[in-house]
């Protein structure tokens, strides 16, 4: 691998991502959008050594490690340990800091490329710690907040809406799950105001969660429908499945049974097609509860049994036990 000293650079503004890396990242992003996160991660794993050797520009290497790390963070909620994502993100950070040290004139010129990469890496390290804390009973988000605040500090010089939108959304998540709903709402709305359609869809989905926690079901449904429209528009299939599930739950609360069932069926269809067993498990749980509420216990047992089988595929012991108990209770 070439050292930074071997690369003549007067400004990183002369830099543009190599076509080879651009095409690779488009391919992995498309896989993620279509719900094939594990396939995207597999491509990163298979190509890591090749890319890190063949990519000439250090910022290309930073980008590769950053995008790999971002997908690994998303996979934390699929019960992957945090260490995998942190390793890649901190490798990207070390590489970037090394570049800044060896090219101080570039690094001190408020160069947007460098500062953007720095801000995103810090943000995603914080996001990784958020997911890790979320899985633990005590839910201590202090480590996550430290990294996200570092990212916001770097972004004071940037004024790039899309990066700021994502960081504000991550800050909102921490407030939401710390039960500070007023602050969470502020950050989600700011994220929505500044962000792309993808970012807006995430913000709307969580604004829906906040409205639901305040028993504002109609408002929650409106936000969730906006999230679904945006995700369908950008063909974010992975997110579409979860949003159909969310709408199904809201329509159950509104006693709109036919609409609830329609959205559950859509979520099951999409999740089955893309092998998203986590989403499928959740939908079967909700569907079983839906049938119990209607007194249709035979259908409820079928849904819970399907959920139990799905949970066994991803070896989710807690949910397997949950489904078993629900089946016993109505049998």
Predicted pLDDT at 108: 55
| CATH number of this structure's domain 160-235 | 1.25.40.10
Predicted pLDDT at 158: 79
Residue spans per domain, the chain: 1-159, 160-235, 264-331
Give the pTM. Answer: 0.86
Predicted pLDDT at 131: 87
Query: Which of 97, 98, 75 lies closest to 85 in space, CA to CA?
Result: 75
3 state SS for the chain: CCCHHHCCCCCHHHCCCCHHHHHHHHHHHHHHHCCCHHHHHHHHHHHHHHHHHHCCCHHHHHHHHHHHHHHHHHHHHHCCCHHHHHHHHHHHHHHHHHHHHHCHHHHCCCCHHHHHHHHHHHHHHHHHHHHHHHCCCCCCCHHHHHHHHHHHHHHHHCCCHHHHHHHHHHHHHHHHHCCCHHHHHHHHHHHHHHCCHHHHHHHHHHHHHHHHHCCCHHHHHHHHHHHHHHHHHCCCHHHHHHHHHHHHHHHHHCCCHHHHHHHHHHHHHHHHHHCCHHHHHHHHHHHHHHHHHCCCHHHHHHHHHHHHHHHHHCCCHHHHHHHHHHHHHHC
Other Cβ atoms less than 10 A from the Cβ of 34: the count is 16
Per-residue pLDDT of the chain (331 residues; tens, 9 = 90+): 333 333 333 344 456 788 999 999 999 999 999 989 999 999 999 999 988 888 778 899 999 999 999 999 988 766 677 888 999 999 999 999 998 888 776 655 447 888 899 999 999 999 999 988 887 888 899 999 999 999 999 998 778 899 999 999 999 999 999 999 999 999 999 999 999 999 999 999 999 999 999 999 999 999 999 999 999 999 999 999 999 999 999 999 999 999 999 999 999 999 999 999 999 999 999 999 999 999 999 999 999 999 999 999 988 899 999 999 999 999 9
C-beta pairs of 322-325 under 8 Å, 24+ apart in sequence:
322/285, 323/284, 323/285, 323/288
């Amino acid at each position: 691998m070439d050292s930074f000293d071997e690369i003549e650079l007067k400004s990183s503004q002369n830099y543009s991502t190599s076509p080879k890396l651009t095409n690779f990242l488009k391919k992995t992003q498309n896989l993620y959008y279509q719900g094939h996160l594990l396939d995207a991660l597999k491509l990163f794993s298979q190509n890591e050594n090749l890319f890190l050797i063949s990519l000439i520009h250090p910022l290309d290497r930073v980008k590769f490690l950053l995008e790999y790390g971002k997908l690994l963070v998303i996979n934390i909620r699929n019960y992957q340990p945090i260490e995998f994502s942190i390793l890649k993100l901190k490798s990207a950070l070390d590489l970037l800091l090394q570049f800044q040290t060896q090219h101080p004139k570039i690094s001190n010129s408020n160069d947007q490329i460098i500062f953007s990469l720095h801000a995103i890496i810090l943000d995603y390290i914080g996001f990784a710690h958020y997911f890790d804390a979320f899985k633990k009973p005590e839910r201590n988000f202090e480590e996550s907040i430290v990294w996200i605040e570092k990212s916001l500090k770097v972004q004071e010089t940037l004024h790039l809406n899309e990066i700021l939108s994502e960081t504000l959304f991550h800050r909102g998540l921490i407030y939401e799950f710390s039960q500070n709903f007023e602050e969470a709402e502020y950050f989600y709305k700011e994220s929505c105001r500044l962000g792309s359609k993808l970012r807006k869809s995430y913000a709307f989905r969580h604004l829906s969660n906040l409205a639901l926690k305040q028993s504002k079901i109609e408002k929650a449904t409106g936000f969730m429908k906006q999230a679904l429209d945006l995700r369908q528009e950008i063909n974010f299939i992975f997110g579409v499945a979860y949003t159909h599930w969310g709408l199904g739950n809201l329509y159950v609360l509104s006693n709109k049974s036919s609409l609830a069932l329609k959205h559950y069926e859509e979520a099951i269809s999409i999740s089955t097609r893309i092998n998203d067993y986590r989403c499928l498990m959740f939908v079967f749980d909700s569907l079983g509860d839906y049938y119990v509420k209607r007194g249709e216990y035979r259908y409820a047992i079928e849904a819970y049994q399907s959920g139990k089988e799905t949970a066994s595929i991803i070896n989710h012991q807690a949910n397997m036990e949950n489904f078993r108990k629900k089946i016993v209770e109505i049998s």
